[in-house]
Amino acid sequence: MRLFEKTALITGAAGGIGRAVALCFAGEGATVIASDINGTGCAETLVLLEQSGGSGISVPVDVTKEVEIRELYRHIRERYGRLDIVVNIAGGDCEPSAEVEEIDYLNMSANLDLNLKSCIISCREAARLMKPQGFGKIVNMSSLVYRGSPNQFSYSAAKGGIYAFTRSLALSLGRYGITANALAPALVEVPAFVAALGAERWEMLRKECSQRYPLGRVATPEDVARCALFLASDDAAFITGQILEISGGARL
């Protein structure tokens, strides 16, 4: 049990990766606060983790609303009095692939709000809880597109911003016993992605990526969850400010 007696907040816990992380952490003994804008979905995640012997609560939150993030952390403080781990996973690409001249201001803002600003505010609230306790593990969801991605401008900017922000956190919070790291997956097979693309287009994308990635397949949510577990556990006690590429060797 690598997270025995730890309290862990997972945002995006109704999604493909978030649910896998929530189930993985609960299986390692953590009390999981499963949060998502999709209240039904994160309640389902809670049922699944309870069915496999885990425990926690589900809290619907829109991470683009500062007031809701503050309320979430206030609830955690009142209920548990501490927070050991936060994994900021809620996110997604709000801007359809476009030429740079066609960047839409509203879509760009939505990408920055959902992916970057939400992460910054969640980490601010986490630091307020973690600093006084002298312990904390922050894991932020970037993406392999942090390196740059053709026609994915604001999403890659947001995910690159998460990496820079995470390094700044690591530099500032290390002395308080808090580590901050980021995950950068290549393509992960999640139900939402498959549904959005449709089976046929998804299959073409999956095949194309599988041929390109040296390990010959795309990632599963569980691949990502195991890396989140590593960074949230004492196995990564001396690792901070890093980005872990979960890419099957893509972009080497």
Q: Residue 13 or residue 170: which is nearer to ligand NAD going by CB?
A: 13
Q: Residue 27 or residue 41: which is nearer to ligand NAD going by CB?
A: 41
Residue 68 · residue 119 · CB < 8 Å: no
Q: Residue 127 or residue 141: which is nearer to ligand NAD going by CB?
A: 141
Residue 115 gets which letter from DSSP? Answer: I
155 has catalytic annotation: yes
Of 193, 194, 220, 241, the one binding ligand NAD (CB under 6 A) is 193
Of 141, 173, 228, 232, the one binding ligand NAD (CB under 6 A) is 141
Does position 86 bind ligand NAD by CB under 6 A? no
Residue 188 gets which letter from DSSP? Answer: B
Q: How many residues bind ligand NAD (CB under 6 A)?
A: 27
C-alpha–C-alpha distance, residues 217 and 173, integer Å: 36
Window 35-64: residues binding ligand NAD (CB under 6 A): 36-38, 41, 61-64
- Cβ-Cβ contacts under 8 Å for 227 (sequence gap 6 or more): 183, 244, 246
Residue type, 24: C
Query: Rg of the chain's alpha carbons, rounded to an integer?
Result: 17
What Cα–Cα distance (Å) separates residue 137 from each residue in 37, 50, 97, 109, 185?
Answer: 23, 23, 33, 28, 19
Does position 15 bind ligand NAD by CB under 6 A? yes
Of 90, 121, 129, 231, the one binding ligand NAD (CB under 6 A) is 90
Does position 164 bind ligand NAD by CB under 6 A? no
